[in-house]
Amino acid sequence: MVVVTAIVCFLLPSIGRNDSHFWRMVLAAVGVGMVGVAWLVQRAGRPERAVMGLRLVLAVLCTVGWFNYFQFSGKVIGGINDYTDTAYYYTNSKYLEELSYDGLYATAMLCDHERGAPRTAQLVQYRDLRDYELKPVAVGMEHGRKLKAEAFTPERWDAYCHDVTYFLDRLSKKALTTNFFVDHGYNPPPTWTVVGGNLATLFPVENLKAACTVDVLFVVAMFGCIVWAFGIEVMLFGMLFYVVTFSGRWPILGQAILRFDWVAALACGVAFLRKGYHGAAGASMAFAAVNRVFPSIFFLGWGLNFVFDTVREGRILERHRRFVAGAAVVTILLLGTSLAQYGPSTFVRSAENLRMHNETYSSHRVGLGDVLVFRGETTKAQIRAGGGIYAKELKVRAMQWRLRAVGLVAIAFVALYAWRVRREDWELVPLAVLPFFCITNPQINYYNLRILLFCWHGAHFRHPFHRVAMALLFGVEVATQATKVLEVERYTTTTTTSIGMALYLTVLVVWMARQLVRSNGTLESGHGSVG
């Protein structure tokens, strides 16, 4: 049936992105229904025919979902729709030693100027990545000349110009004016650049698609780990979420360089923890944390158990020693290699750049701060009437200390839960989404990390809370995709996800509080997986 479905989908004509959002909405709504169907199968004692039927329907839905994800288009699967992100990640990682974190735009404009400015002649201003301020192009040209003279050898400059103009020639002049040179550029730490930069060096820019396809291997490994640790039905529910979530609108799998490595590493880390491979879990989760920084918060659950177990036992348990050893090996390897290749000064500049980036706000962000500054706007006129997105950014900046305070309370609450209820290490990892939502306002694409929640809820599917929570996560996607179908502003779409997550986390906190009241401090083993 899956093969037949794939053949039928292959024969269907390609669709536009908006139509794809409509069918994502439909599939997410069906996902809510499938949670109910899975519960009925559980209630009936999981007879073999019913179980096979459930798996068949989920597999067919995922197959349709994948084709819809790629808009039923071979061009989307085999091509690259948006060269902006790949330009940042390919060129800046490959030439980080020369560009640091502030030289990309200045040198790109200079490279184009040296060949007659066929792509940038219309530019009036650009974002100076040294301070994130918009400035005249002349400032950037002066900066670019300085970098060319002081940081590049003639051979490296020629190679860099060859690579960066490859991207400039493939971006529209409108994109160059309104997006490429005014974005926040390249933000990954040097530890990511060790991997991404070497990947970019391995593949010439003309073979960019091959470099982007490496992400597909990470995602395949992620789903392989999930089915190994949690069963095929949990994996299929997680995959269905993955192909319907608005967090997957951009970047598209196979069209960006190592944009999915961290989420795959996190999910595999949880899977390793559940199967008892603590060394591999530590290594996998450390890879995510060192490469993207913010996944460090997902060490919270294991860290709490580490502290409580050590205090109770008066010694460090073997599983914790293995976890620390695995994490240490990966961390030392990536940190050591990046320090040797780029030097300590690059880390200082990376930290400064990350600080500036975290202080910014845009229509792409999700988090508690996003909820608090939302005033029900659905049009550009309404947003402008309130002072625009920049006015909201100032409000989010002003409330940073309060958001961090709420985040600390959330961490304390998770710690109290971990101490009183006593769960296995892997079960506590997804709970870090609570302080993560409170403290940070990342771009919506990072919220594909919710696949960790599907693993957790699927593993305890017999419990009513976990069924409701899984259905609610699908419901958030129904609402979010509906805003795209209704063609409201992008800001409203991402804020819908923020509001939906706030509702989900409220339900989570209420459930955790009830567990605390009923707990007796003994380790609980769970409630039975969906599969």
Structure tokens at 343: 């030097």
Element (H, E) at 201: helix 190-202
Minimal CA–CA distance to 443: which of 519, 382, 504, 366?
366
Looking at residue 355, its pLDDT comes to 87
- φ, ψ (nearest 5 deg) of residue 155: -65, -45
Residues with Cβ < 8 Å from 377, sequence gap 6 or more? 383, 386, 489, 491, 492
Structure tokens at 271: 């899977």
Looking at residue 525, its pLDDT comes to 47
Is the bond into 251 cis (omega within 30 degrees of 0)? yes
Q: How far apart are CA 450 and CA 437, in angstroms?
A: 11
Question: Which long-range contacts (C-beta less than 8 Å, at least 24 apart) are formed by 476-479?
Answer: 476/500, 476/501, 476/503, 476/504, 477/24, 477/25, 477/28, 477/31, 477/241, 477/244, 477/245, 477/246, 478/25, 478/28, 478/29, 478/32
Helix ranges restricted to H, 115-153: 137-150
For residue 53, count other CB atoms closer than 10 A to its CB. 13
From residue 74, alpha-carbon distances to 10, 14, 300 in Å are: 9, 8, 42
Q: How far apart are CA 345 and CA 438, in angstroms?
A: 31
Q: How far apart are CA 254 and CA 240, in angstroms?
A: 18
Q: How far apart are CA 32 and CA 378, in angstroms?
A: 26
Counted residue by residue, the chain has a size of 531
One-letter amino acid of 360: T
- Where the chain has pLDDT below 50, the residues are 525-527
Q: How far apart are CA 445 and CA 442, in angstroms?
A: 8
Q: How far apart are CA 434 and CA 454, in angstroms?
A: 15
Buried/exposed 66-98: b ≥16 CB within 10 Å, e otherwise: bbbbbbbbeebbeebebbbbbbbbbbbbbbbbb
Question: Which long-range contacts (C-beta less than 8 Å, at least 24 apart) are formed by 352-360?
Answer: 352/101, 353/101, 353/102, 353/129, 353/187, 354/187, 354/189, 354/293, 356/131, 356/132, 356/184, 357/184, 357/187, 358/440, 359/397, 359/400, 360/132, 360/184, 360/393
Structure tokens at 404: 């961090």
Residues 364 and 446: beta-carbon distance below 8 Å: no
Cβ-in-10-Å burial (0-12, 13-18, 19+) of 16 comes to: exposed
The DSSP secondary-structure symbol of 407 reads H
Minimal CA–CA distance to 394: which of 364, 366, 369, 371?
369
Structure tokens at 287: 């890879």
The DSSP secondary-structure symbol of 115 reads T
Q: How far apart are CA 20 and CA 81, in angstroms?
A: 15
Listed in order, strand segments (DSSP E) in 432-484 are: none
How far does CA 520 lie from the centroid of its chain? Answer: 36
Residues 334 and 291: beta-carbon distance below 8 Å: yes
Q: How far apart are CA 88 and CA 239, in angstroms?
A: 28
CA dihedral over 458, 464, 469, 475, signed as positive or negative? positive
Q: How far apart are CA 306 and CA 308, in angstroms?
A: 6
